[in-house]
Chain A
Amino acid sequence: MIRKELVAASAEPLILSLLSRGESYGYAIIQEVKARSDGKLQWTDGMLYPVLHRMEQRGLIKSRWAESETGRKRKYYSLKKDGKHAMQKHHEQWSLVHGVLSGLRKEQYV
């Protein structure tokens, strides 16, 4: 299981990256993250929504209510221009951290 702090820190970049592929809603976001991480990255379901609301307030994403194919009301989220910029920034920063870690790991095996 991944540490709580890392799960919290990765929430925003993961949400932004998922939404960059098209609009989605809370339940689907949680399921997708769970599936892509083989269940290792698990969020407390309810806690995703304050994060989504906060990102919306910051102008990174926008939302709209719509009916699903089953007739249920769902709140769909999509990326805004500032969200795309924020996502690029996150990617750069996480790539940097990943690069440093990989480099250090390689050195251990030399």
Chain B
Amino acid sequence: MFNLEQSIADWRQQMLAAGIKTPVPLEELESHLREDVEQQMRSGFSEQEAFGSAIKKIGQPRLLKTEFKKADCIGTFMKTYRILGVLWMALSGVLGTLFLFALLHAVFTHPKVLFLPRFHLHTLACLLYLAGGVAGFSLFHCAQWARRFVGLIAVLIMIVTIVQFVAYRSLSWASDIVSVLALVSVVLLLSERIAKGLGRKRADVA
């Protein structure tokens, strides 16, 4: 005698064995399965036939696991971007603001600094830090354009830092911090690109 509840429990075991974890997405899949079984029974199929057809339509546990793993991978990157966004806001944005006040103070107390190339390099770095802070805010909110923007700002900050180091053989602690953040950001953004490239295969709903 066919027992639907027992069959669903067995199916859940198969899904768990394949690595599809509870409560999400297994609960969601089970809800779908029950809905489909009910719908088919209303169309005149027996409980056993409806269950057999429904589990067939849901698909192989192993394939489902592979697709859910890809979704989890995206989730991990999104969390990383949120953390990265906070770091950009906290470090680049705050340091950029402090840097701006220091530069303005320098201009008002020693106007001659306006003619020094080093001052212009600092101003450029300061503007990049502020832009990094704004980009961090957008990155925190998962805006897609923010990733490219942060990548661009990070590369420019690294270039300016290298120029500063080559020209003056010294770096401020603010430059050190933001440069490390820029380097980490570039590595992360590139690693996502590489991961996407490796798993370019589209989600197979067909």
Q: Is B31 touching A50 in the complex (CB atoms < 8 A)?
A: no
- Chain A, range 16-48, C-beta contacts under 8 Å to B: 25-27, 42-48
Q: Is A43 touching B36 in the complex (CB atoms < 8 A)?
A: no
Task: Report B-chain residues with C-beta under 8 Å of the C-beta of A7.
Answer: 205-206
Q: Which of A45, A51, A54, A73 touches B59 (beta carbons < 8 Å)?
A: A45
Q: How many residues of B contact A (CB 8 A)?
A: 32
Q: Is A59 touching B142 in the complex (CB atoms < 8 A)?
A: yes
CB nearest to B79 among chain A residues: A57
Task: Report A-chain residues with C-beta under 8 Å of the C-beta of B71.
Answer: 50, 53-54, 57
Q: Is A72 touching B31 in the complex (CB atoms < 8 A)?
A: yes
Q: Is A54 touching B203 in the complex (CB atoms < 8 A)?
A: yes
Q: Which of B25, B36, B54, B58 touches A53 (beta carbons < 8 Å)?
A: B25
A84 at the A/B interface (Cβ < 8 Å)? no
A94 at the A/B interface (Cβ < 8 Å)? no
Q: Is A46 touching B206 in the complex (CB atoms < 8 A)?
A: no
- Chain B, range 159-206, C-beta contacts under 8 Å to A: 202-206
CB nearest to A70 among chain B residues: B38
- Compute the total of residue contacts between A and B using a CB distance below 8 Å: 101
Q: Which of A4, A43, A46, A57 touches B78 (beta carbons < 8 Å)?
A: A57
Task: Report B-chain residues with C-beta under 8 Å of the C-beta of A92.
Answer: none
Q: How many angstroms between the C-alpha atoms of A52 and B152 in the bound complex?
A: 31
| With A44-B59, A82-B144 as contacts: A54 and B74 at CB distance below 8 Å | yes
Task: Report B-chain residues with C-beta under 8 Å of the C-beta of A75.
Answer: 24, 27-28, 31
Task: Report A-chain residues with C-beta under 8 Å of the C-beta of B29.
Answer: 46, 49
Please give the residue numbers on chain A whose beta carbons come within 8 Å of chain B beta carbons, in ascending order.
3-5, 7-9, 11, 25-27, 42-51, 53-54, 57-59, 72-75, 82
Please give the residue numbers on chain B whose beta carbons come within 8 Å of chain A beta carbons, in ascending order.
24-25, 27-29, 31-32, 34-36, 54, 57-59, 63-64, 67-68, 70-72, 74-75, 78, 142-144, 202-206
**Subset of 19 A-B contacts with CB under 8 Å:** A25-B31, A44-B59, A44-B205, A45-B54, A46-B32, A47-B203, A47-B205, A47-B206, A49-B25, A50-B64, A50-B67, A50-B71, A51-B203, A51-B205, A53-B71, A57-B72, A73-B27, A82-B142, A82-B143
